[in-house]
Structure 1
Amino acid sequence: MKQILKGIILMLMCWAATPTQAQDFSSIKNPQDWVTAKNYYLTYVLLQDTTALYEYFSSDRRLTNLLDARHNRLLESEKCTDLACLMKAFMWKNEEIEYLSATFSKLVLSHSVQREHLKKHLFAYPRYGNIGNLSLSAYIEKALRQDFHAMNYAIRVYGGGEKPNYPTIDSIAFNTNDPHYLSLLKEVRVDVLSDIQKPEQAFQETLLCAIRLLEINERWDAAQLEPLRLGENKAALDAIATTDFSRYPYSLLLTLGAGPEVYGQPVSPGGMLRSRTAARSYFAGLAPFIVVSGGRVHPYKTLYIEAQQMKKYLMEVCQVPEHAILIDPYARHTTTNLRNTARILLSYGFPTDQYAIVNSSSTHIDAVENMAARCIRELGYLPYELGNRVSDVIIEFKPREESFTIDPDEPLDP
């Protein structure tokens, strides 16, 4: 149990010491871990010390029985003859989620010194939303509960064919009524079981099912181009450290994408025009950096990452230097264009007291100006603070720390 506490404490120190540290995923080495860490962060960190984790499991008879039952459910699913049966085998049950989450919160409550240490660090960095009046143990319980339900959500959408929030761009890649599809899911089952060598590893089964279903749907978008800090964003990240931001009215210019509607088109006409507006603003000295934001979104299952293609356009056509361009290759909507750029502003070393600006078409900026209700509805919070409307096509904004909150029902860009 002490080892588990130590692991959680170290995890939360990595989370919470500063926003920059909290966004540092430099220890992650492969795409599967990127997808896991971004979607189910607390679960990911707990699994970094499985020896201690499994020791705790073995000390709790009810938990041992729960994991045995969960494992047997997956073993017995070999006999499943329909989709619903396999989905039940892949997912956590609600009562399992409640007991697992409550168990870890009790662990924290039982150690006063470690509890205070956790409070100091966890409360400083709310990756799982505003803490509000929640106790530390309740917040950890909330985080684990969110992870487990988020795994189930990914399985329902990318295994069971449930409609995601935006079906036209994010839906399952398979016909769930095709008789061959059940055979594919049973191959997923075999693959997951091949990674389970000990009974206590049943803790990982739902996670592995979710990750594998995202993979066969070609939906590991949350991992694409990572690590950004060492790749696409390295030149700009290095430049940020030596930039005198006082020389500029704004710290950064976010350029919203305009996803292509024609398959095989790297940059849409709207994307070209918005990139040109951004380049003019950059060369006029409004801001020292441009963020282009947009994932692999339009049209459905496109091969192109919009932000990456807009960066290429800015460099090759508009002659903006690479050290002035940052990309957000994940955002799938205007809400997350702003949210993800807020994350960049908070974690890449930008001044926190200076406004950034966002540019797009005039109608798009109209939408940004009136987007608060949509953010609350879709994200659960407002990730930015708006300033003045500078022109028809530009508006000011500042990031809010809430922007780091994981979105549990958007596994492609959590």
Structure 2
Amino acid sequence: MKKIYSLVFWGLLFCSVHALKAQNAKVNYTLIHGKSFVQSKNYYLLTLFQNLPEVKQLLSKDVTLQKITQQKLHTLSQASKQCQNKFLCLSESMKLSEADIQEVSRRLGVLYNDNNALGKLVVNHLIPSGTYILSQKLSAKEQLIKAWEQDAHGINFTIGVYTEGQKPNYPAIDSISFKVSNKNYSQLVGDFHTTVQEESKKATLFFEPSLTSALLSLEINEREQVADYEPMASTVNKLAFERIKTINWKAYQYALILVPGAGPDEPKVALSAEGMLRCRVAALRYFEGLAPLVVVSGGNVHPYKTPYNEAIEMRKFMVEKLHVPANAVIVEPHARHTTTNMRNTARLIFRYGIPFDKACITSTSKSQSMYIQELNLDKRCEKELNHVPYRKGKRLSETEAEFYPLIEALQINPLEPLDP
């Protein structure tokens, strides 16, 4: 009897370990980018739907989903006749209705099978990509449905902000580029709506007209910076990425030094005084040999629609002025807040094969270091990202503190289309 119990125990343990491994994101997983990085970084499941032939065929041939596609095309056509250039009416027709979202969820649940194209999508792409990792405790079918609903609501959020003029999370830097109260704006949305109709005529997947609307709204607002410098491992980060493979990690106390960006207040200023000071402190730590790499993090953020990228300008300063080797500096050029300085750096650590269990340090101003380590950044992350992408270590000085990256950082944020 003891032998039987032992066999059962080890069998359950094996199954549990196997299931746990099956839920893990994979370092060697290659993200599929499809038509654009803007799309794939915001709506990864929909990118998979379009780019995996077996999945695309299954979904495009389904009668129920075909009806939803045709109904959406009909809704767009009717809106162009009935809305009379009332932009809110037109934009509403481009969104995915809640009824359609739920109908698709039900249909995906019916179509899903562990052994068919959708089952393979979850096991071979959705889970190893880590892009919907906060749902990893759900069943495979539920993860698929949850990812669909996230992408669908993300599309509607993007249309709401960048077509209707709704407030984003940070209105001062991320708002719509147009005055929706201007009498000419309705005409612009009318032309935009017509373009969506034209580009959607050959749509075969139920979400494509609305996806087209979201992507075009980002384009006409000049808000596609999430794709800048991609693929970074072969562009701005090529030198550092190639060097990572040769680093003897045991020779360093820390994996990297993160320098969060500090945007200037003046439109013509490329790098703020605060940014320069942060770079100088981080360079001192680098030359002391604390870590083999420096990550400079920050996007085109301050002031509103600045042409200057914080990370790119900090890299120039560190390499050209402070003489930090170019192959020691990793650029993270998309973060818009301190929350995403931390999250995006954790993502790069994972994607670039940097030891994920090795401590890192933030090197920044005294006030920001205090904010990251002792004050409310973790609470802000929980509120805005729905998770905390790092674990705190110990404080090292007034300007440096340890942190450890967490795998939850891979989760896409559907409410930040400029840096999801």
User: What TM-score do the two structures reach when normalised by structure 1?
Assistant: 0.90
Q: What RMSD in Å do the two structures reach over aligned CA positions?
A: 2.2
Bigger Rg, structure 1 or 2 = 2
Equivalent of residue 401 in structure 2, options 383, 395, 405: 395
Q: Percent identity?
A: 36
Contact 1:196/1:202 (8 A) holds in 2: no
Give a deviation string over 1:284-332, Cα, whole Å, max 9, x none: 1111100000000000000011100100011111011110000110000
Equivalent of residue 77 in structure 2, options 64, 75, 78: 75
List alignment gaps of at least 5 residues for structure 1. 1-14
Corresponding residue SS for 1:130: helix
**1:63 counterpart residue number:** 65
More displaced 10-residue stretch of structure 1: 388-397 or 65-74: 65-74
d(CA) in 2 for partners of 1:319 and 1:119?
Answer: 45
Correspondence 1:291 to 2:295: yes
Contact 2:165/2:176 (8 A) holds in 1: yes
d(CA) in 2 for partners of 1:51 and 1:114?
Answer: 9
d(CA) in 1 for partners of 2:283 and 2:74?
Answer: 59
**1:261 counterpart residue number:** 265
Correspondence 1:146 to 2:153: no
User: What TM-score do the two structures reach when normalised by structure 2?
Assistant: 0.89
Shift of 1:194: 2.2
Contact 1:71/1:202 (8 A) holds in 2: no
Aligned residue runs from structure 1 range 4-403, under 5 A: 19-22=26-29, 24-25=30-31, 28=33, 33-49=36-52, 53=56, 56-60=59-63, 62-79=64-81, 80-81=83-84, 82-109=86-113, 111=115, 115=119, 118-119=122-123, 122-123=126-127, 126-131=130-135, 133-198=137-202, 200-201=204-205, 203-369=207-373, 370=375, 371-403=377-409
Aligned residues: 395
**2:5 counterpart residue number:** none
Shift of 1:123: 4.5
Corresponding residue SS for 1:20: coil
Letter in 2 for 1:40: Y
Contact 2:362/2:402 (8 A) holds in 1: yes
d(CA) in 2 for partners of 1:274 and 1:149?
Answer: 38
Corresponding residue SS for 1:229: helix
Give a deviation string over 1:121-171, Cα, whole Å, max 9, x none: 754554213235421111100000100110000000000000000000000
More displaced 10-residue stretch of structure 1: 93-102 or 33-42: 93-102
Letter in 1 for 2:73: H
d(CA) in 1 for partners of 2:190 and 2:116?
Answer: 46
Shift of 1:179: 1.7
Letter in 1 for 2:396: V
d(CA) in 2 for partners of 1:183 and 1:97?
Answer: 29
Shift of 1:105: 2.8
Shift of 1:103: 1.6
Letter in 2 for 1:66: I
Give a deviation string over 1:347-387, Cα, whole Å, max 9, x none: 11111231010111111011101321111111000101110
d(CA) in 1 for partners of 2:274 and 2:26?
Answer: 34
